[in-house]
């Protein structure tokens, strides 16, 4: 618990010093990763999406136009404040203070985006997050997972291990792999409960 609290204090301090400590708004790397993340989603629009670990809400703001409802969460109070401010133009988007994986929200989602958060949770927490995500998916839902490949603190789970945990859980949940991208800097995986590919779904519709 003490280590968990110190991590919360650490992240809140980062946002207290700088509203964009990881340069989500100004970095070309982040802009490119967001564009690839959005392009990887097999549907143009989702009914109800959830993004745990939303930080300052930059990815959230990019997801919002493609969602009927968007729930975002972060455990750092200052990050929640910044994300709420960022999402003011999107009244259908809401930001809550939640600690993952223990404070998983109720209800079901047809999109869950796990970006740059799971490797902070330890293997047990990462596995719990993956289980919560797959158990909360609608019958036609999409699950996306994206993480930086170059490590960080010694206690963080390696990104390849994170994606292996999610892949195993996705298989148990009978999700279909949609995309696996191994960029020089990040891993991006997408799974879907929908059995049709994008082109086949368009032709059938």
- Which class for 189: exposed (0-12), middle (13-18), buried (19 or more C-beta within 10 A)? buried
- Token pair of 198 as six digits: 């994008």
Which phi and psi (to 5°) does residue 160 adopt?
-65, -40
- pLDDT at residue 1 tops 50: no
Domain ranges of the chain: 2-204
* Whole-number pLDDT of residue 199: 84
* Whole-number pLDDT of residue 4: 45
> What is d(CA 134, CA 112) in angstroms, rounded to the nearest whole number?
9
* Whole-number pLDDT of residue 22: 63
* Whole-number pLDDT of residue 5: 45
Tell me the per-residue pLDDT of 35-60, one tens digit each, with 9 for 90 and over.
999 999 999 999 999 999 999 999 99
- pLDDT at residue 69 tops 90: yes
Q: What percent of the chain has pLDDT over 70?
A: 89
- Cβ contact 143:133 at 8 Å: yes
The CATH number assigned to the domain with range 2-204 reads 3.40.50.150
């Amino acid at each position: 618990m003490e280590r968990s609290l110190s991590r919360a204090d650490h992240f809140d301090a980062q946002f207290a010093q700088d509203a964009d400590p990881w340069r989500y708004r100004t970095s070309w790397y982040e802009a490119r990763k967001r564009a690839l993340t959005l392009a990887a989603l097999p549907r143009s629009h989702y009914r109800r999406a959830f993004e745990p670990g939303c930080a300052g809400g930059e990815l959230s703001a990019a997801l919002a136009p493609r969602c009927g409802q968007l729930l975002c969460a972060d455990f750092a109070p200052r990050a929640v404040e910044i994300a709420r401010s960022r999402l003011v133009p999107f009244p259908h988007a809401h930001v809550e203070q939640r600690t993952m994986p223990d404070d998983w929200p109720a209800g079901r989602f047809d999109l869950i985006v796990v970006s740059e958060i799971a490797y902070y949770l330890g293997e047990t927490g990462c596995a719990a997050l993956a289980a919560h995500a797959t158990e909360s998916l609608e019958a036609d839902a999409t699950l996306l997972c994206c993480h930086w490949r170059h490590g960080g603190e010694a206690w963080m789970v390696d990104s390849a291990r994170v994606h292996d945990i999610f892949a195993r859980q996705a298989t148990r949940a009978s999700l279909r792999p949609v995309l696996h991208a191994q960029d020089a800097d990040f891993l991006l995986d997408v799974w879907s409960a929908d059995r049709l590919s994008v082109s086949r779904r368009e032709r059938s519709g």
